[in-house]
């Protein structure tokens, strides 16, 4: 009788085989599935300002540490609709303006995907549809509690200036309107190019290209 405890060849082959199987199941197969999913979704048109805002959101200001872009589904209420499995939104996430749970296709072509892990702030996967007004986002960035009294978000006043930009810079800045109540130490407030890019990225999060492909609800 062959014993794994005394057969050196088995001691090498069995763990190595198990390792290769696990690599295939946990890494190779999911990667193949994701590549197939990406093929179903057309890459959205690139906008340099939005791409700059995405970079600031992820690596610049680390917004991903407090915000998710991942709507959880309630698997207990899953059903099949027209031959397709449908998972409704978990009740705790219903307030984020989504009718269905996030799917793998939503993260196609994203490098890296900003799914997030902490829900300190609200989910932002469809914030552009829920809050499409750039001025609202400027107010929120400058003084979060002015538009959301219960917000835990710290002010991002470094993204703004009270000094009017020069004629050469004017198109890179946005004037913030209706600033009464924001606590601005001056008569005017301007969103800097970074603030403008960040807000453009947030407004772009509408999932419209997924809806056009019939992959989102």
Nearby residues of 27 by Cβ (< 8 Å), 6 or more positions away: none
Domain boundaries, the chain: 49-212
Quick one: how far is CA 107 from the chain centroid? Answer: 9
If one compares 55 and 26, the residue with the highest pLDDT of the two is 55
Q: What is the pTM of this model?
A: 0.78
Q: How far is CA 5 from CA 15, 18, 20, 21, in A?
A: 13, 17, 21, 22
Give the closest residue to 120 by CA, choosing from 147, 88, 144, 87: 144
Region 57-65 average pLDDT = 93
Dihedral angle sign, alpha carbons of residues 64, 65, 71, 75:
positive
The domain 49-212 is placed in CATH, from the list 3.20.20.100, 1.10.760.10, 3.30.230.10, 3.40.50.720, at 1.10.760.10
What is the rounded CA–CA span in Å between residue 121 and residue 151? Answer: 8
Q: In which band, very low, low, confident or very high, does the pLDDT at 88 lie, cut at 50, 70 and 90?
A: confident
| Burial tier of 43 (Cβ tally within 10 Å: 0-12, 13-18, 19+) | exposed
Residue 95: pLDDT above 80? yes
Higher pLDDT, 8 or 89: 89
Helix (H, G, I), strand (E, B) or coil at 88: coil
* Residue of 140, 132, 113, 101 whose CA lies nearest to 54: 113
Distance CA 5, CA 46 (A): 59
What span, in angstroms and rounded, lies between the C-alpha atoms of 173 and 196?
A: 7
Compute the distance between CA of residue 94 and CA of residue 71 in angstroms, rounded to an integer: 8
What does the pLDDT look like over 21-53, one tens digit per residue? 998 888 787 767 666 665 566 666 789 999 999
């Amino acid at each position: 009788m062959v014993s794994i405890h005394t057969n050196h060849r088995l001691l090498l082959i069995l763990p190595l085989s198990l390792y290769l199987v696990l690599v295939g199941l946990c890494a190779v197969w999911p990667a193949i599935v994701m590549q197939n999913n990406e093929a179903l979704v057309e890459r959205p048109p690139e906008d340099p300002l939005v791409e700059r805002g995405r970079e600031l959101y992820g690596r610049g200001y680390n917004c991903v540490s407090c915000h998710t872009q991942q709507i959880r589904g309630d698997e207990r209420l899953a059903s099949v609709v027209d031959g397709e499995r449908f998972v409704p939104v978990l009740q705790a996430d219903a307030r984020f303006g989504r009718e269905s749970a996030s799917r793998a296709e939503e993260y196609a072509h994203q490098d890296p995907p900003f799914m997030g892990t902490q829900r300190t702030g609200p989910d932002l996967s469809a914030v552009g549809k829920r809050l499409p007004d750039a001025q609202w986002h400027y107010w929120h960035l400058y003084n979060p509690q002015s538009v959301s009294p219960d917000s835990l978000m710290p002010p991002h006043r470094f993204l703004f200036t009270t000094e009017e930009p020069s004629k050469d810079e004017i198109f890179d800045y946005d004037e913030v309107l209706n600033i009464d109540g924001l606590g601005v130490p001056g008569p005017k407030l301007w969103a800097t190019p970074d603030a403008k890019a960040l807000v453009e990225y947030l407004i772009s999060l509408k999932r419209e290209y997924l809806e056009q492909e019939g992959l989102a609800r």
